[in-house]
Structures are given as C-alpha cells and as structure tokens.
Copies of this chain bind each other. A is one copy, B any other.
Amino acid sequence: MVHPGHWGVRARVERFSEPALLLLLRERPAHGYELLEALPALTGESRVDMGNLYRVLRALEEDGLVTSRWEAGEPGPAKRIYELTTEGKRLLDEWAAALRRSRDRIDTFLERHEGR
C-alpha cells in the first residue's frame, strides 16, 4: 500500500487469524466453515479469506498442532472437524505471550503520542 496516495491505515497484527483460530479450537473442536464465521468477532475484520484459512489449517495439521477427522452422516456436505493438540495449545500460549509484548509496544507508542 506504500505509494498510491492512499495511505489507508489498519494496524493489523500479522497472521492474527492464526492465534484466533487456535483459541476457537481450544474452546471446542470445529470445522472450517464454522471457524470462518466465528473468526470476525475475534479479528475485527468483516470477513476472513477462506483460501488462506484452509491453507493454515492444513499446515497446522502437517506439523501436528491440530488433528482432523471427517464427519459424515449429517445433512449437508461432509465436514472436516479440527481439534487442537497439546502442541497446538503450547503454540497458542506462545502467541498469547507475543501478543502481550505487542500490546505493550503499542501502549508505549500511544503514551508517547499523547505527549508524555
């Protein structure tokens, strides 16, 4: 976004949907589409990109941070249910720690901005 005379500012945290995802999954197992609908409440974005969401979920699974199983039978297309592993919970805690540091940095900035 640097240069088109536009300069829209959002102050997004990089890959914030990732810890949000992990937090939702710690609360209870869920399938992708469900997470897609629950995420905006946490991220503040109006919507989250599906493509990236599923990619992150698969990558998380590859590294053993979540597990998944196919849930058939119910009406509608088969759902892939994701569940957080112990490793995944550890990652979530790392994210929380990093986010705490990030928040403190923002606070420092804001205090300095108000002029103190």
Contacts and interface: CB of A to CB of B under 8 A. Distances in A.
Interface in A32-51: 42-44
Interface residues of A, number: 44
A106 interface: yes
Nearest to A104: B44
Residues of A contacting B: mostly: helix
A59 B103 contact: no
Contacts of A2: 15, 55-56, 59
Nearest to A65: B7
A23 B102 contact: no
Given A7-B65, A11-B95, A55-B2, A103 B103 contact: yes
Nearest to A10: B98
A63 B106 contact: no
A45 to B, nearest CB: 10
A94 interface: yes
A109 B23 contact: yes
B14 A10 contact: yes
